Amino acid sequence: MSQTQQIRDALKNITGTQKKQTIIFSAKVIRVLNKVCDVEYNGMTITGVKLSPVLDSSNTSVMIKPTPNSYITVIDASMGDLRDLYAILFTDVSDIIIDEGKNGGLIKIKELTDKINGLVGTVNALVQAYNSHIHTTTAVDAAGKPCVINPIVNKATGATELQRNEYENIKIKH
């Protein structure tokens, strides 16, 4: 190292300007594991890049899984030691998992509403048929009119259409 470089380094040490800084870099995703991925950066493989922005993974979390061979932006919170790495931007995503995915996939609200309201229409048609059905017989009353057997006393009520706002959480969209 030249004398000029040694003086420059000594001045940086004295003034405190040689402090480590957070590093952000773009890397190619090689492999995606459970809660981490491995990336390639400047010809080297870096393992253990965390996919959840929540520091304590035992708490409620959101995990974004990148697609292999896509690119992610990584932040090195260990100030260049490459040991506390987090994925923060993604060029392609294969999965977004909330609370470990234990509730299954998100509902397709429009399709579900249409399907349920189709069933509501079918139920209402059956209720209408039930309520308007009359049992007749060949028996006649004293006036000679046909009798009604067991007339429907308790009418069934129809179902109401489902409204999206009754079950849709608009804070999460897809």
Q: What is the pLDDT along the chain (174 residues), one digit of tens a residue?
A: 677 777 767 766 666 656 667 789 999 999 999 889 999 998 999 999 999 877 665 665 788 999 999 999 999 888 877 888 999 999 999 988 887 777 777 788 888 888 888 999 899 998 888 888 776 677 777 887 877 676 667 778 888 888 888 877 776 665
pTM: 0.59
The residue assigned the tokens 């249409």 is 114
Q: Do 97 and 115 have their domain in common?
A: no
Q: Do 121 and 60 have their domain in common?
A: no
Q: Do 85 and 148 have their domain in common?
A: no
Report if residue 24 sits inside a domain: yes
Q: Do 82 and 120 have their domain in common?
A: no
Q: Do 79 and 159 have their domain in common?
A: no
Q: Do 121 and 89 have their domain in common?
A: no
Report if residue 173 sits inside a domain: no
Q: Do 79 and 135 have their domain in common?
A: no
Q: Do 8 and 91 have their domain in common?
A: yes
In angstroms, the CA 168 to CA 111 distance is 12
Which of 58, 68, 82, 56 shows the shortest CA–CA distance to 28? Answer: 68
Q: Do 85 and 115 have their domain in common?
A: no
Domain carrying residue 77: 3-101
Tens of pLDDT, residues 19-51: 667 789 999 999 999 889 999 998 999 999 999
In CATH, what number is assigned to the domain containing residue 55? 2.40.50
C-alpha dist (Å) from residue 58 to 33, 35, 172: 17, 12, 21
In angstroms, the CA 113 to CA 132 distance is 28
